[in-house]
Homo-oligomer: A and B are copies of this chain.
Amino acid sequence: MSIRAVVWGENVHENTNDDVRALYPQGMHECIADALNKNAGITATTATLQQPEHGLDEQTLASTDVLLWWGHAAHGDVSDEIVDRVQQRVWEGMGLIVLHSGHFSKIFKRMMGTPCSLTWREAGEKERLWAINRSHPICAGIDGFFELPNSEMYGEPFTVPEPMDTVFISWFEGGEVFRSGLTWQRGAGKIFYFGPGHETYPIYHDENIQRVLSNAVHWAANTAAAWTGIEDAPNRALADALEPIEQKGKSLHQDGEEGFK
């Protein structure tokens, strides 16, 4: 079955900045979805900030295997209720791919539990992405490294937790380095952060970038059934104990009562 991907775009600069509109007349999200749809195993659609519920209603999320997230100027405009909902779905097993300036999105900061800060410079300098974990599925088809002639510099320290996999590290012309491809797991959900993606450069038209995103969608898709109720803390009543035990000591709770939350 085809993997169902949703590309979420903030869709702001595409409508307010002529340079961005020229590169992405339909928006970056549509460009990314088109690239994913070239891949036989992926069916990608889009959602944007401006839609009702930001295009991420319950039904849409329930039928999404992997969500890609691009935001920048309007992180603060994303409703906390929708972020709750997205986080819940990632815990249940939906993959999450966070792009570029999404490092400061509400959903990414929540998932990491860290500031997710970095240094940056918008000078159009060269970025060279080295494949660190060369046989990782996300690196399929990348031959050791690839380059972007113009990129926004994102530099260390990138204040995220130590990752599960270090997939890419970038070299920048101006002298910085950046862990530009990292993975984590949160609940049942697999997460990939990918650094490149500044809106004034044609990053999402680049063949290698499209290849990495397509690989990442395949990697992040979880074939297990959704882990619904993952946030519950069920009481295992004495009567249902796996080994025969007897009540000892004092109790706060009645048997089978729900815990505090």
| Partner-B contacts on A (CB < 8 A) | 13, 17, 19-20, 72-76, 91, 93, 101, 104, 110-115, 117-125, 128, 130-137, 139-140, 144, 150, 153, 155-159, 161-166, 169-177, 179, 184-188, 198-201, 222-224, 227, 230-238, 241-243, 245-253, 259-261
Contact = CB atoms under 8 A, between A and B. Distances in A.
Nearest to A76: B261
Contact of A123 (B140, B162, B177, B238): B238
A249 B175 contact: no
A252 to B, nearest CB: 6
For the residues of A in contact with B, the DSSP-based class is: loop
Nearest to A104: B261
A166 B164 contact: no
B91 A159 contact: yes
Contacts of A242: 128, 174-176
Contacts of A131: 156-157
A177 B187 contact: no
A33 B130 CA distance: 35
Given A123-B248, A159-B230, A161-B186, 10 more contacts: A20-B252, A93-B135, A104-B259, A113-B186, A121-B237, A124-B248, A130-B155, A130-B177, A144-B157, A201-B249
A184 B105 CA distance: 22
A164 B245 CA distance: 34
Nearest to A149: B248
A237 B119 CA distance: 10
B156 A248 contact: no
B177 A159 contact: no
25 contacts: A75-B260, A76-B261, A91-B159, A110-B110, A111-B113, A115-B187, A117-B232, A120-B234, A121-B236, A122-B253, A123-B247, A128-B175, A128-B242, A132-B157, A133-B157, A137-B224, A140-B223, A153-B236, A156-B169, A162-B166, A164-B164, A166-B179, A169-B169, A174-B241, A200-B250
Contacts of A156: 130-132, 169
Given A186-B161, A200-B251, A238 B176 contact: no
B150 A249 contact: yes
Contacts of A139: 224
